[in-house]
Amino acid sequence: MTALLSMEGITGGYGDADILQDVTLSVEKDEIVVIVGPNGAGKSTAMKSVFGLLTIRGGKLLFDGDDITGWAPNRIVQRGICYVPQVDNIFREMSIHENLEMGGFLKKGDLSAAYDRVYTLFPDLKERRKTLAGSLSGGQRQMVAMGRALMLDPKLLLLDEPTAGLSPKYMEQIFQICRDVRDTGVAILLVEQHAKQALAFADRGYVLAAGRNRHEGTGADLLADREVAEMFLGG
C-alpha cells in the first residue's frame, strides 16, 4: 500500500539557506503522525514544505498519487491538504460561522454538509457561531482554526503546534479532537513541542534534529527509546 503522503529526501528552506537536509517521512491514510524534536530542528519547516511554503531544492513530495513538489498553496488546498498555522490562524474580526465559511471558500455549491461535520466535531462552536472569533479563548480559537481547515473535506490536515500555550486540559481536548478527526477518515500530520504527550497519543512519530531525520517509529517505541528520551524528552 502506498502512503497518502510521502516526503522523499526533501532538501530546502527559505531563500538560499537549506534548513531541511534530506528529510523523509510518510503519512498513511487514517493515521496521526507527529514530528517532534528540539527547537530549531526544522519541524515546522518540514510541515510547511508539504504545503508549498518554501523553496524545495531536492527530493520529491507525493500525495495521493500526484507529484505535488513545487505546487502553489492554493492548488495544494484544492488537492486535499489543509494547513493550520501556529499563530494568526483565525479571522479575528469575523464570526465563528464566517471563519468556517471562508474555510469552505473554494467549495462549489452547498456548504451545509461541511458545516454539519465541523459542528458535530466541535459542538461548543455551534452554540457560539455568531461570536467574533477574536474574542474566544486560546483553546476555542484552535478549534475554530481546525474547523476552518476541515471545511474543504481535506484528506490530510497539517497542524503546526496546535497545543502551544494551552492548558493541559485543553491540550487533552485538542488531542481527543484529533483522534475524532482521524476517525472520520482524515489523516493528520502535526508538529508538537510537548513531545512526551504527543508521542503518547500519535500513531507514529518522527524525531528531527538539525534539519535531518533522527529517529522514527510508533509513539510507544520512540518513548521507550533511551537515546530519544535523553536527547529530546528531558530524560
Query: Does residue 101 belong to the site contacting another protein (CB under 8 A)?
Result: yes
Place of cell 510518510: 26
Q: Does 14 bind another protein (CB under 8 A)?
A: no
CA angle 20/21/26 to nearest 5° reads: 75
Q: Starting at the edge strand that comes first in sequence, how are the strands of the sheet with 204-209 ordered? A: 81-84, 156-160, 187-191, 32-36, 204-209, 212-218
Write down the least CB distance from residue 105 to another protein, Å. 5
Stretch that binds another protein, among 20-28, 32-40, 80-88, 201-209 (CB under 8 A): 80-88
Q: Of 67, 92, 179, 185, which one interacts with another protein (CB under 8 A)? A: 92
Q: Which of 195, 186, 199 is nearest to 83 (CA)?
A: 186
Determine if 89 is a binding residue for another protein (CB under 8 A): yes
Q: Does 63 bind another protein (CB under 8 A)?
A: no
Give the per-residue contact string, 133-172, with another protein (x = CB under 8 A; - = no): ---------------x---x--------------------
Contact of 121 with 164, CB cutoff 8 Å: no
Of 77 and 199, the one with the shorter C-beta distance to another protein is 77
The nearer residue to another protein, 16 or 93, going by C-beta atoms, is 93
* Candidate segments 26-34, 54-62, 75-83, 193-201, binder of another protein by CB under 8 A: 75-83
78 binds another protein (CB under 8 A): yes
Cα 35-36-40 angle, rounded to 5 deg:
110
Is 93 a binding residue for another protein by CB under 8 A? The answer is yes
* Residue closer to another protein (CB basis): 57 or 92: 92
Which residues make Cβ contacts (< 8 Å) with residue 47, sequence separation at least 6? 35, 83, 158, 160, 189, 190, 191
Q: Locate 18 and state its grid cell.
A: 537549506
- Cell reading at 78: 484544492
Under the phi-then-psi rule, with left for phi > 0, alpha for psi from -120 to 50, and beta for the rest, what region is 211?
left
Assess 102 for contact with another protein (CB under 8 A): yes
Q: Where on the chain is the footprint of another protein (CB under 8 A)?
A: 51, 73-74, 77-78, 83, 85, 88-94, 98, 101-103, 105-106, 148, 152
